[in-house]
Structure 1
Amino acid sequence: MTDAAHMPAQRRRLIDTLEIDTRLLGMIGAFILLCVGFHLITDGRFLTPRNVFNLTIQTVSVAIMATGMVFVIVTRHIDLSVGALLATCSAIMAMTQTVFLPQVMGIALNSGLNAPLAILVGLVAGTAIGAFHGWLVGYLTIPAFIVTLGGLLVWRNVAWYLTSGQTIGPLDSTFMLFGGANGTIGETASWVVGILAVLAALYAQWMSRRGKMQHGFTVKPVWAEMVMAAIIAGAILGFVATLNAYEVPAARLRRVFEMRGEIMPEGYTEGYGLPISVLVLLAIAIIMTLVARRTRLGRYIFATGGNPEAAELSGINTRLLTVKVFAIMGALCALSAVVASARAANHANDIGTLDELRVIAAAVIGGTALSGGIGTIYGAILGALIMQSLQSGMAMVGVDAPFQNIVVGSVLVFAVFVDIVYRKRTGAK
């Protein structure tokens, strides 16, 4: 047998040794090719620190909702109302900040209490609407497709009536910290967060290895663990370094120094660092992953998606579970509304338009099976990043918006086809 014939087998053994999900590996490979391709086409503008920063904050809103869509699709449902629900939550929070709190409660914009109260109202509203959808699906047994299709029409227009069709702004300055460039933690704090993230990832990796050894499972060789640790650490610290490399404009820094009564030193520079919205996404990702893997609710969700009849016979209250899943989805829509409206610095009528397509596409591209029972949080976030990279790259190249949507829709169909083929070949359900 020739050396060339040995290569596929050697690669397979390496992948098996490192315990790498081949589907995830394929997604990462596709993402890298996409980024490199757009970088070459745009004459080196796509992978600049500035564009990576913008790409990151643009991904957050869809990625947050995509983590909730994983639970919805895993339980064999769908939610077509997420974009409209985002708009309603955004309208509620905008009107709370600019009308209700100042005029009724006497709490003015930028007072310190305005933004937290507005966000709380938005979260309550989003959770309640999501739970209502879940009640219609779970207890009245109306198909989720119909309930959320109706919700798409209802909540989009409720948002319009709440604001009388007007753009509402400006919003509270604290609220707008969740929008991106106006809310970053700076270079030093970003490095601290990056190092802590690396330590947390290494600790989780060590605990996973220790747990396998205690239960007698086969573990990876030490060298394989070190390779994975190096890849994880490199990815985290590289991401932080890239965002820190995006420098705050000199004019803005000069104004900051002038407000302090100081003169900016000659040649002084400062990087933006990690946006607060990205930290919110990371927190959501960690929480949702822990819920999926470590809690009874997560086990019930995946058990119900795998076999609803068996789950119900085993004592799981699948109706109440449906309410909980849609309530989580509603709460995440409200959080996404905070990020989206803060990034725009106002509430606009078209906010969240077509987000239902992007969110479902992100979850499916990330490996969530439409047949239910299978899905990962990190896969959905990577799927959202791929979708946003595709759209941003096409926009930089000069592709018209209608054609961008054509490409996104085609990618969604192709991703489902690839998922079907992959599961047939691997024997996965």
Structure 2
Amino acid sequence: MRDTLSRSFRTLQIDTRLVGMIAALLIVWIVFDLLTEGRFLTPRNLFNLSVQTASVAVMATGMVFIIVTRHIDLSVGALLGFIGMTIGWLQAQVLPDLLGIGHPAIWIITVFVGALIGAAVGAVQGYIIGYLAVPAFIVTLGGLLVWRGAAWWVTSGQTVAPLDSTFTLLGGGAEGTLGATWSWLLAAVCSLAAVVLLFLSRKRKSDHGFTVKPLAADVVLAGLFVAVIFGFTAVMNAYAIPSRAAARMFEARGETMPEGLVLSHGIAIPVIIVLVVATVMTVIAKRTRFGRYVFATGGNPDAAELAGVNTKLLTVKVFALMGFLTAIAAVIASARLRSAANDLGTLDELRVIAAAVIGGTALSGGIGTIYGAILGAVVMQSLQSGMAMVGVDAPLQSIVVGVVLVLAVLADIVYRRRTGD
């Protein structure tokens, strides 16, 4: 039975590791739904889960490149906290005095400054690692301490609030969503894009003489893509905005909410950000010279350098990209909380690394996928959210997450030994 199933997966070119991760995620969801008497698999909780996963998922895509090149970045959580405090201070205390309260440029300037800081910090750390040959573990461990201290120094440890109203939309919430109509439209566009890309890839392989899977298999796969996209959208649209919150939204526009009107949350803006980041990072990984260099360097650094790859400069670029994505995550995290506190991003570095590793990124380098890291982030957040709903104490939550991380690495090692990867 197992051999038949394995042959079927090989014929259909299905990633068995991905199937295993999805199966594990579904088991986690079902178990927690049973333990919470049906409260876990509800539109409300799944909406919250998608928003809570966003910041870690964004950073996990960058951590894939870091680990693939045989490095590690322990500073991302502290850097997120530093950037979050800085951009919070900018939009709460600096820009309103310069531009006026509620100026439409405040959130744009804030995001730009945060991205610039993140990329610059990442580049500096990458330079120390690549050109000065200081191990990434030491550099980023030092960064963890430096940026956590700097986060406190920005505002002397005081929480920054309130943040710009437009900026907070980037964190989700009742107003930070697309609503039902635009969510369905986005689902249709994404479904069409997925189907077109799938069959373009099939045509490209066929044109170059590569073996392609049976047409029926691609049709089934396309159907699964469409079903997942529309299914997710249906769940997000099933979560209605509370009537009082909806009424306040109408009042803010100077309108009166029609009696009996029900508004849906739809897809949250943070989820859209994750979708855009995942798409761009996948294209970078698979369709650009930079992406090929990253995986070549991780597979064999010496061979890559002999082939003409500037591995030192590549290290700077990879860490600068990680810093940039950390800034995007800082925007999402601070906007979701509508404030910036000194403890923002605490332990996120461990969650991000765990998400990448659980998603199949090999600590030995050279192997990793963007979609795997995002799925790993969902698994991590599902465990934490589920245990919180069940009432598991925080120390025990940490124990469970640690055990899951070790088991995930062990399972990955066993899988690679059996498959010869």
> Match of 2:157, SS?
coil
| 1:10 counterpart = 2:7 | no
> SS at 2:140's partner residue?
helix
**8 Å Cα contact 1:17/1:224 also seen in 2:** no
The letter of the residue matching 1:243 is: M
CA apart distance, 1:270 = 1.2
- 1:328 paired with 2:355, answer no
Partner of 1:243: 236
SS at match of 2:165: coil
Amino acid at match of 1:249: P
Equivalent residue, structure 1, for 2:124: 132
Question: Take 2:155 and 2:66, find their aligned partners in 1: how far apart are those partners?
Answer: 30
- Residue 120 of structure 2 aligns with an amino acid whose one-letter code is A
Deviation, structure 1 residue 98: 1.7
SS for the counterpart of 1:370 is coil
| Alignment of 1:122 onto 2:117 | no
Q: Give the whole-Å Cα distance in 2 for the aligned partners of 1:300 and 1:397.
A: 45
Cα deviation 1:39-90 (Å, max 9, x = unaligned): 1110000010000000000000000000000000000000000000001111
In the alignment, which residue of structure 1 is the partner of 2:29? Answer: 35
**Counterpart in 1 of 2:196?**
203
Equivalent of 1:19 in 13, 16, 32? 13
Q: Is the 8 A contact 1:109 1:171 kept in 2?
A: no
Give the Cα–Cα distance (whole angstroms) in 2 for the partners of residues 237 and 172 of structure 1: 33
Residues 397/179 of structure 1: CA separation in 2 closer, same or farther (3 Å cut) = same
Structure-1 residue corresponding to 2:287:
294
Q: Mapping of 1:82-231 within 5 angstroms?
A: 82-103=76-97, 106-181=98-173, 182-231=175-224
The structure 1 residue matched to 2:338, chosen from 336, 339, 345, is: 345
Q: Distance in 1 between matches of 2:220 and 2:101?
A: 50
Give distance in 1, aligned partners of 2:91 and 2:418: 53
Find the aligned partners of 1:373 and 1:334 in 2 and give their Cα distance: 25
* Structure-1 separation of matches of 2:31 and 2:323: 36
Q: Which amino acid aligns with 2:149?
A: N
TM superposition shift of 1:402: 1.2
Cα shift at 1:311: 0.6
Q: Secondary structure at the match of 1:202?
A: helix
**Cross-structure match for 1:76:** 70
- Equivalent in the alignment of 2:257: 264
- 1:316 deviates by 0.5
Q: 1:308 aligns with which of 301, 308, 317?
A: 301
Q: What amino acid is the match of 1:383?
A: G
Distance across 1 between alignment mates of 2:254 and 2:149? 48
* Structure 1 residues 177-229: Cα deviation after superposition (integer angstroms, max 9, x where no partner): 11111310110000000010000000110111001110111111121111111
Q: Is the 1:18–1:228 contact (alpha carbons within 8 Å) kept by the matching residues of 2?
A: no
Q: Are 2:126 and 2:318, in contact at CA under 8 Å, matched by a contact in 1?
A: yes
- Partner SS, residue 304 of structure 1: helix
- What does the per-residue CA deviation read over 1:372-408, in whole Å, with 9 as the maximum and x for residues that have no partner? 0000000000000000000000000000111111111
Q: Does 1:417 align with 2:410?
A: yes
1:261: Cα distance to partner? 5.4
1:256 and 1:99 map into 2 onto residues whose CA distance is 26
Contact 1:97 1:109 in 2 (8 A): no
Contact 1:194 1:237 (8 Å CA) reproduced: yes
Q: Paired residue for 1:234, among 227, 237, 243? A: 227
Deviation at 1:262, TM superposition (A): 4.7
Alpha-carbon deviation of 1:99?
A: 2.1
The answer on whether the counterparts of 1:285 and 1:378 sit within 8 Å (CA) in structure 2 is yes
CA RMSD of aligned residues (A): 1.1
Q: CA deviation at 1:255?
A: 2.9
Match of 2:45 in 1: 51
Alpha-carbon spacing, 1:261–1:286, altered in 2? closer, same or farther (3 Å): closer
Q: 2:416 is matched by which residue type in structure 1?
A: R
What letter is aligned with 2:53?
T
Structure 1 residue 258 displacement after superposition: 4.2
Superposition deviation, residue 19 in structure 1? 1.2
> Cα 1:397–1:211, aligned 2, differ >3 Å: closer, same or farther?
same
TM-score, length of structure 1 as denominator length? 0.96
Q: Which runs of 5+ in 2 are unaligned?
A: none
CA distance in 1, matches of 2:388, 2:177: 25
Residue type matched to 2:313 in 1? L
1:314-338 CA-partner distances (Å, limit 9, x unpaired) = 1110000000000000000100000
Whether the aligned pair in 1 keeps the contact of 2:96 and 2:102 (CA below 8 Å) is: no
* Inter-partner Cα distance in structure 1 for 2:171 and 2:10: 41
Kept after mapping to 1: 8 A contact 2:96/2:103? no
Note the residue ranges of structure 1 that are not aligned, 5 or more in a row: 1-6
Residue 171 to residue 211, structure 1, CA distance change in 2 (3 Å): same
Matches within 5 A, 1:388-403: 388-403=381-396
Matching residue's letter, 2:312: R
Out of 363, 371, 375, the position equivalent to 2:368 is 375
Alignment partners' CA distance in 1, 2:199 and 2:119: 36
